[in-house]
Amino acid sequence: MNSPANARAVSDHVLRSAADDHRRILVKGAYVVTMDPALPDLPRGDVLIAGSRIAAVAPDLSAQGAENDAVVIDAEGSIVAPGLVDTHRHAWEATLRRSIPDVNDLGEYVVSTLSGVAPVLTPEDVYVGTRLAALTALDSGITCMLDFAHNSRTAEHSDRAIAALTDSGIRGVHASMGPHFGDWDHQWPADLTRLRSTYFPTDDQLLTLRVAALATDEIAGPEIAYGPRLAQVARELGIGVSVDAVFGEPSSRAVLEWARQGILGPSTTLIHSTGLTADAWKAMGDTGATVSLAPTSDAQIGLETAVPAVDESLAAGIRPGLSIDVEVALVSDMFTQMRALLAIQRMRAVNAAYGTDADVRRITARDVLDFATLQGARTNGLGHVTGSVTPGKQADLVLVDAEAVNNMPLNDAVGTLVLGTDPRNVRGVFVGGRVRKWDGELVGVDVAELRRSVHASRDGILTRAGDGAAALSVPGRH
């Protein structure tokens, strides 16, 4: 990649011209993985960014005058790919990362985190946790993140969650839901109207809005369970719906009822979707519903069958998106999600056919990269905006060091992204054409100050939670 001086020049230029819709950046000589079915990968190619959008992709754009008035990045030895997309993360929990690493089931998570700790979070705690999650996403090459904000106790909690996404610079989807337990203002879902008019007046912006809900009333009662009332709110506001905790027989019955009621469709995302019946999957496929899988969450926490429902999803004609879920017990990056899903599905397929002559349907590295990019964008309602290196789309891109010790030599670029790369190899991140990470460092982020705010927020939460935090593995608790 560029020399440090040129790297600084790129960052400085983009930051100085943040409001300039005509700024141009030419990324030259990279291996371009487009993830656009109509646009082949380029073993050596150029990507021209003009303002917030991808203007051109070709083996060599020099002859077209692309270098004129452009900041040129020499990206030889790098892979340029679409930014990764997270379709479901409870971002406010980030300050409690890995506090329950050995959680045994959903019940333990609900009791320790949603009941024991969530009620004491202030709006500022929500801001700190959400910003930390978003910055961590950017640092690991995730350019679009759906924040399933299920701790919206007051209007101010929602305001601060949205402010955190804004301040991070990520392409954020704020999916708002009332909390499971504890005191709250019961301003939701009515407050969604205010949020829409105040923060999301159009859909042509960096942040978008969705309704968040649970599949059934088993965990926290009917108020936050999806049904005709919340579907009507979403329709009136012109936004999509993300439904969490879609598990087993009760959720299967709910899915069939939603289909009967006409409130299941392309703008509805069903999260997890483990242990569902064949009839439920058929209804999901027939209506065009989208699916968000959480590979490490399903397997590690043991949600319903504990097997990510990738085979079921594909059999129903649904190519799923991927998600992180809860950082209190899980990893924060999408590379791990891709690898986990690839390994689990291939193990499951081979095991099922072992000792027989049956054909084995194994997904590929390109499949999981598709799930983590283009399909994730579609799942978040943004497939026309991001998810592939396509001229006209927003310039949400990652530059990966393909000649780092753990990646060299570059042979198969998709294999390198899925099986070799980790966040330290993400050397550059663009969101809407603006540099958010460069030369391995987040741009414009005071990490020392971030660390101080995170520790202060975490310590305050634990103090206020008292015995409610007893189950968490944190300093001074064990």
* Helix, strand or coil, per DSSP, at residue 214: strand
Say yes or no: 270 and 216 in one domain: yes
What pLDDT shows up at residue 476? 58
Q: Is residue 50 part of a domain?
A: yes
Q: Does 91 share its domain with 78? A: no
47 and 169 together in one domain:
no
Domain boundary pick from 326, 345, 379: 379
- The answer to whether residue 460 is domain-embedded is no
Q: Is the pLDDT of residue 13 over 80?
A: no
383-406 pLDDT, tens digit each: 999 999 999 999 999 999 999 999
Rounded Cα distance, 441 and 426, in Å = 9
pLDDT (0 to 100) of residue 22:
74
- Between residues 69 and 471, the one the model is more confident about: 69
Assign 20 a pLDDT band (cuts: 50, 70, 90). Answer: low
In order, the DSSP letters of 257-292 are: HHHHHT--STTEEEEEEET--HHHHHHHHHHT-EEE
Say which CATH number the domain at 428 has.
2.30.40.10
Cα(312)–Cα(238) distance, rounded to whole angstroms? 29
Phi-psi label, residue 436: left if phi above 0, alpha if psi -120 to 50, beta otherwise: alpha
Crossing angle for the helix pair 248-261 and 228-237, to the nearest 10 degrees: 60
Across 33-38, average pLDDT: 98
Tell me, what's the pLDDT at 10? 56
List CB contacts of 282: < 8 A, sequence separation 6 or more.
316
Q: What are phi and psi of 29, to 5 degrees?
A: 75, 20
pLDDT tens digits for range 200-227: 999 999 999 999 999 999 887 889 999 9
Q: Are residues 335 and 345 in the same domain?
A: yes
Stretch 436-454: mean pLDDT:
97
- Do you find a cis peptide bond into 391, omega within 30 degrees of 0? no
- Same domain (yes/no): 47, 97: no
Q: Is residue 454 part of a domain?
A: no
Do 201 and 235 reside in the same domain of the chain?
yes
Per-residue confidence band for 357, with pLDDT thresholds at 50, 70 and 90: confident
Report DSSP state, residue 238: T
What are the residues facing 290 on neighbouring strands? 269
Query: For residue 189, is the peptide bond before it cis, meaning its omega torsion is within 30 degrees of 0?
Result: yes
Rounded alpha-carbon distances, angstroms, from residue 163 to 29, 362, 374, 453: 37, 42, 26, 15
The DSSP secondary structure of 60-108, one letter per residue, reads --GGGTTTTT-EEEE-TTEEEEEPEEEEEE-GGGGGGTTSSTT--SHHH
Does residue 450 sit within a domain? no
Evaluate whether 225 touches 180 at the Cβ level (below 8 Å).
no
The answer to whether 335 and 140 have CB atoms below 8 angstroms apart is yes
Task: Judge whether 170 lies within some domain.
Answer: yes
Same domain (yes/no): 337, 205: yes
Same domain? For 148 and 54 the reply is no
Helix (H, G, I), strand (E, B) or coil at 49: strand
Verify that 413 and 367 share a domain, yes or no. no
Task: State the alpha helices, DSSP H only, in 204-268.
Answer: 228-237, 248-261
157-188 pLDDT, tens digit per residue, is 999 999 999 999 999 999 999 999 999 999 99
Same domain, yes or no: 167 and 274: yes
The CATH number given to whatever domain includes residue 115 is 3.20.20.140
pLDDT, mean of residues 449-466: 96
Domain count, the chain: 2
Task: Identify whether 283 is part of a domain.
Answer: yes
Q: Look up the domain containing 343 and give its range.
A: 84-379
- Judge if 157 and 269 occupy the same domain: yes
What letter would DSSP give residue 385? T
pTM of this structure: 0.95
Indicate if the alpha-carbon torsion angle 346, 349, 353, 359 is positive or negative.
negative
- Angle at which helices 248-261 and 278-287 cross, to 10°: 40
pLDDT at site 21: 66
**Strand partners for 31:** 79
On the question of pLDDT at 16 being above 60, the answer is no
Whether residues 71 and 181 share a domain: the answer is no
Q: Which of 50, 131, 146, 42 is nearest to 94 (CA)?
A: 131
Domain assignment present for 472: no
Pairwise CA distance, residues 283 & 261, whole Å:
12
Handedness of CA 465, 467, 471, 476 (dihedral sign): positive
Residue 426 lies in a domain: yes
Angle formed at CA 381 by CA 377 and CA 383, multiple of 5 degrees: 45
